[in-house]
Structure 1
Amino acid sequence: MTWRDLTDPRVVAHGVDPEAGLKEPVPENLEIPERLGPVTLVVDDHKIKRYAFTQDDYHPWHFGPSPFGGRIAHAGLLSNDLVQLFTTVYAASRTVGLHTEEQLWFDGPAHLDEEVTLDGTYVESFTKRGQDYVVMEASATGAGGRGILRHRGVEILRTRPGDVAGRGSTSGAGGSGTVDGTFDEDAPTAVVGTPSLRPGAPLPFLHVTITQEQASVFSRCGEYVRNTHSDLAVARAGGLRIPIVQGQQQCGLITGMLTRFFGADLFTGGWLRVKFIRPVEVFEQLEVGGAVTAVRELADDRLGVEVEVWVRRADGALSTIGWARAEVPAS
């Protein structure tokens, strides 16, 4: 039976250590390029329900019929599996890193009970501000190589999170300039196919609090992985007062909002790039928002829509900022 995760936690009952023989996650052990995976897993009912719990996202397409015929996974469901592919080579519970940037290309939905293959490579490493970074490119494909999701992520491989979290910038190449979390407060919420879809209009905001249980499950406690997101002792050893929400979990909150905004078109050609600029502690109240920045007329009664997106903490500071785009019907 194909298991639903990167590792099968049931093997520990037979005395197997899932991390035995894996490399220490430190920069000197890197090989560039370095293959990560491949891994085959199944997008089963449990995996979808578990992700829905971690994101507090119960969109009806994930539990019943969808525009793609049957039940589909959340757009971001496989994104953390792709991020975590490095743990097929490096010991997950000895990793104390920091995810700084994420980019996703959505090629098609993952269907209920579909077997998917994850494959990735460390393609680059560099040093910046005294920290050692590594860049991964990876993809998730379905039967016959059908594209589902592509990922490019940047991470500090080994650090003390409490010392470096919050250094990020709110702008970057490939986005739409500086993201400051503002929008036209007099404009109605943007709705695709209506006159409300115009620059400055806000996206459908979400308000959510990620609890410790949600963060722990998202960050693989079910596979017996210990990290700064699931374990208080590990978090405090990393200079944090309490576990922090994984950047990829915040990214998932944004993809959930974009699903409600772009609809099915997010799954078949959407793009998202985010930067994680400040930490989010578990139990923090979060606002997930965004604003339209550009609307372009395309052929065949289609529009190219670009947006800014963000996650805002309860203290008003932005923790995640980014840019997204998709093509949608004009009417």
Structure 2
Amino acid sequence: MSLENDAHASGARGIDRSPRRDLTDPRRAIEVEDLEAGLKEPVFENLAIPEALGPVTVTVDDHKIKRFAFTQDDYDPWTLDASPFGGRRIGHACLLGNDLLQLFTLVYAGSKTVGFHTEEQMWFDSPVFLGERVTLEGAYVEAYERRGQGYVVMEARATGEDGRSIVRHRGVEILRTVPGAVAGRGEGTPDRKVTGEVPADARIVARVDGDVREGDVLASMDKTFTAEQAAVFSRIGEYVRNIHNDLAIARAGRLRVPIVQGQQQVGFLGQYLTAAFGRDFFTSGWLRVKFVNTLEVFEPIRATALVTKVERVPEGVRVDVDLWIRRLCDGKLTTVGWGSCTVKA
């Protein structure tokens, strides 16, 4: 068959109509010229508050789990084989985080977005299982201006087939900016400053259990995100182009090379806290982080957490931590925040 005939036959076949795993279906490119036609320009002036985002349904199939495992370099056997949840395979704790964050691209053109994710908050209510069809839905709920930048707040949720909450998200983002000009504006928050300092006499613990005490430090975890991992995480497979997967767009944003999404760093923290808290993190975990410096692809980083409070509750032991990610090349923090989990007695 000639190339011309082969191309014609491919077009005649049309789109595979099987359930999709992606937020937007890249298979539409077979029949659609402009995948972002009709979507709004992602600028502050175009916001509508409140503005519904979704719902959309995605399937957590084997490929979706393995793709996330590659982007995070996180091959947890619970996600690839059997988990403590009835022996069934589950997705990583933060598997659906970027889907929720990116819900806005159902309304706004994702490839025209040059934003900056400033804050992320996630609540983990239950694991998601292999083969499950999940409904994602959210809304822009607030918009404001500060220091010459326009911010927007999104709240969203992933719901399982049986109606249970899997994970909830609240994110803050500058909708359009020059990323290289706004990063590194500070590491404090009105809640409590996270210093990234470890007490000299701190006890290092690998796992959190009922014997944990205030002042303990969770054993650190190191990671390096490659350009390939960042590109796949940031939706290159859906033909979305941005400062995380395209060198030219990154440099137009005054960046030397693509930077790692804040949400990809959240996935790293999800891996780190899952290792510390185990299965309990999937049902009672919480984290809130702020992104304070950019992270370039190929830059080594280290995640660390300090136990700040241990409290006996009816369900077991609630443990609060300060946590942070540090660039190992220069010692600067990229992400700071807080987390908690209730360890069952």
> With structure 1 as the length reference, what TM-score do the two structures score?
0.96
1:128-143 aligned within 5 A? 128-143=146-161
Name the SS of the counterpart of 1:150 in structure 2: strand
User: Is 1:191 the counterpart of 2:173 in the alignment?
Assistant: no
Range moving further from structure 2, 202-211 or 7-16: 7-16
The CA RMSD over aligned residues, in Å, is: 1.2
Which residue of the partner structure matches residue 277 of structure 1? 292
Q: What is the CA distance between 1:146 and its match in structure 2?
A: 1.1
Contact preservation (8 Å) 2:29, 2:35: yes
Deviations along 1:130-183, whole A, 9 cap, x unmatched? 00000000000011321101000000001011111111333333xxx2111122
Percentage identity across aligned positions?
A: 60
Number of residues of Structure 1 aligned to a counterpart in Structure 2: 325
Q: Among 319, 323, 332, which residue is 1:305 paired with?
A: 319
* Equivalent position amino acid for 1:313 in 2: R
Which residue of the partner structure matches residue 265 of structure 2? 250
* Equivalent position amino acid for 1:54 in 2: T
Which residue of the partner structure matches residue 239 of structure 1? 254
Name the SS of the counterpart of 2:19 in structure 1: coil
Q: In the aligned structure 1, how far is the partner of 2:200 from the partner of 2:223?
A: 21
Deviations along 1:52-87, whole A, 9 cap, x unmatched? 111111111111111112000000010000000000
Deviations along 1:242-301, whole A, 9 cap, x unmatched? 11000000111001100011111111121110000000000000001111111111235x
Q: What is the CA distance between 1:190 and its match in structure 2?
A: 5.0
Q: Among 57, 66, 69, which residue is 1:40 paired with?
A: 57
State which structure, 1 or 2, has the greater radius of gyration over its C-alpha atoms.
2
Runs (4 or more) in structure 1 with deviation over 6 Å come to: none
Contact preservation (8 Å) 1:287, 1:311: yes
Q: Among 317, 320, 327, which residue is 2:335 paired with?
A: 320
Q: In the aligned structure 1, how far is the partner of 2:209 from the partner of 2:216?
A: 14
Q: In the aligned structure 1, how far is the partner of 2:287 from the partner of 2:210?
A: 23
Q: In the aligned structure 2, how far is the partner of 1:185 from the partner of 1:329?
A: 30
Which residue of the partner structure matches residue 228 of structure 2? 213
Q: Among 49, 68, 92, which residue is 1:51 paired with?
A: 68
Q: What is the CA distance between 1:225 and its match in structure 2?
A: 0.5
Which residue of the partner structure matches residue 90 of structure 2? 72
Q: In the aligned structure 2, how far is the partner of 1:193 from the partner of 1:122?
A: 38
Contact preservation (8 Å) 2:187, 2:194: no
Q: What is the CA distance between 1:15 and its match in structure 2?
A: 3.4
In the superposition, relative to structure 1, how do residues 189 and 280 fare at CA in structure 2: closer, same or farther (>3 Å)?
A: same
* Equivalent position amino acid for 2:253 in 1: G
Contact preservation (8 Å) 1:7, 1:18: no
Q: Among 243, 265, 290, which residue is 1:228 paired with?
A: 243
Which residue of the partner structure matches residue 13 of structure 2? none
* Equivalent position amino acid for 2:110 in 1: A
Name the SS of the counterpart of 1:35 in structure 2: strand
Contact preservation (8 Å) 2:243, 2:250: yes
Range moving further from structure 2, 57-66 or 129-138: 57-66
User: Is 1:122 the counterpart of 2:140 in the alignment?
Assistant: yes
List alignment gaps of at least 5 residues for structure 1.
none
* Equivalent position amino acid for 2:144 in 1: F
Which residue of the partner structure matches residue 310 of structure 2? 295
User: Is 1:162 the counterpart of 2:165 in the alignment?
Assistant: no
